[in-house]
Structure formats: C-alpha cells, structure tokens
C-alpha cells in the first residue's frame, strides 16, 4: 500500500512539473518600459524661425532665419547638434550659432539645453562689427504630427556685448515618421 501511495505521489509530481514547464514557455506580451516615448526624435531636421533679439540694454530687433541639425535619441535622452543663421534689424544685423544640444524627451515634448559658439554682427559707432563668443540656451520642442515640430527657445550670446534672442521655430525632420520606442 505504501508503495502504491509513493508511486502516486511521484506520478503527481512529475505531471505537475511538466505543466509548470509548459506554462513557463507560453508567449508573453511585451512589457512596455515606464520610460517609453511616443515620438522618436532621431534624425536630420531643417526649419525656420522668427523672434526678437536685443544687444545689452539697447533696442530690440526683429529677426528671422533658419536652422539645421541632427538629433539622436537614447531612451529619454536626446543628443544633438544644431546650426542657425538669423537676419535682424536695427542694432543687431545678424547672428549665427553652432551648438550641442542635450535634451529630455517625454511623450511628444523635448526640453533641452544648448551650449556652443555664437557670432553676431552689431552696429557700432564706426559701422558694423562681427564678434564671436559663447552661446548658452534653453528651449522646448513639441512634435505636432508626422515629421513636424514646433519650438520656443531662448539664447544668451556673450559676443563682446550681451546679446539675447527669443525665437519661435518650426522644423521638419527627414526620414521615417514618428516611431514608438520601448
């Protein structure tokens, strides 16, 4: 009788083990990361902007121009490089920048900072003067639809004079449309 009971227990254990093993091999749905984003910021882009700039405590100047750049997204972090050129009026004739960008993406938003080089052509008593210096900036960009994004950005340029620029821009990202990231 004990032999029969032992055999029954061993048979039950073996059957249970095979059922558990089959359940472990069952396909599972993919688990989304808590850091998943909806929009993929990776790629080349080009666009235009309008805004206002002012030299020191002087009068403000309307400005407009364009920018080109490249972003690479790693999870939530976005690394990039951007160059821009703006024509302006009054004391500030034009500005140009080349900067590295570091941003944090969440949902369809990208908040970023930038640091790099700046050039500005400013009216002086003897004519025009072009100077170069440091650029520091911050901005936020929103993915509208497909490959279009809109941004607002503030830049501070230290180019012999303090030059402040506030601009609104629209970019088109080349390549694939927005891709989900996991």
The 10s digit of each residue's pLDDT in 35-77 is 444 788 999 999 999 999 999 888 899 999 999 999 999 999 9
Domain of residue 53, CATH code: 2.40.160.20
Q: For residue range 7-18, what is the model confidence (pLDDT) as tens digits?
A: 555 555 555 555
4 assigned to some structural domain: no
pLDDT tier at 34, thresholds 50, 70, 90: very low
- Give whole-number Cα distances, 19 to 6, 9, 22, 84, 92, in Å: 20, 16, 5, 63, 77
Number of H-type helices and E-type strands within the chain: 1, 8
pLDDT in tens, 139-159: 999 999 878 999 999 999 999
**Residue 15 domain flag:** no
Phi then psi dihedrals of residue 7, to 5 deg = -65, -40
pTM: 0.75
When pLDDT is averaged across residues 121-131 and rounded to a whole number, the result is: 90
Q: Tell me what pLDDT residue 28 has.
A: 60
Instruction: Supply the DSSP symbol for 31.
Output: P
Question: How many domains is the chain built from?
Answer: 1
Instruction: Select from 37, 36, 32 the least CA-distant residue to 143.
Output: 37
Query: What local confidence, expressed as pLDDT, does residue 114 receive?
Result: 98
Q: Is residue 66 part of a domain?
A: yes
Residue 61 placed within a domain: yes
Task: Note the helical H segments in the chain.
Answer: 2-24
In-domain check, residue 178: no
State CA 35 to chain mean position distance.
15
Range of the domain at 101: 43-173
Q: What is the pLDDT of residue 111?
A: 98
58 within domain boundaries: yes
162 alpha-carbon distance from chain centroid: 26
Please check whether residue 21 lies inside any domain of the structure: no
Closest to 141 measured CA to CA, from 90, 73, 85: 73
Residue 124 lies inside a defined structural domain of this protein: yes
Please state the rounded mean pLDDT for residues 15-32. Answer: 53
Secondary structure (DSSP) of 102-154? EEEEETTEEEEEEEEEEEEEEEETTEEEEEEEEEEEEEEEEEEETTEEEEEEE
């Amino acid at each position: 009788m004990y032999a029969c009971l032992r055999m029954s227990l061993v048979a039950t254990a073996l059957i249970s083990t095979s059922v558990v093993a089959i359940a472990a091999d069952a396909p599972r749905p993919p688990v989304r990361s808590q850091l998943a984003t909806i929009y993929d910021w990776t790629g080349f882009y080009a666009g235009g902007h309008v805004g206002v700039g002012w030299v020191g405590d002087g009068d403000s100047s309307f400005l407009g121009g364009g920018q080109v750049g490249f972003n690479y997204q790693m999870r939530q972090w976005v690394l990039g490089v951007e160059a821009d050129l703006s024509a302006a009026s009054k004391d500030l004739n034009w500005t140009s920048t080349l900067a590295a960008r570091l941003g944090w993406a969440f949902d369809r938003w990208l908040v970023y900072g930038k640091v790099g080089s700046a050039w500005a052509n400013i009216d002086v008593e003897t004519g025009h003067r072009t100077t170069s210096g440091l650029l520091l900036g911050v901005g936020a960009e929103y993915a509208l639809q497909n490959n279009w994004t809109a941004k607002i950005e503030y830049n501070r340029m230290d180019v012999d004079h303090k030059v402040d620029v506030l601009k609104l821009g629209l970019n088109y990202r080349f390549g694939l449309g927005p891709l989900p990231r996991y």
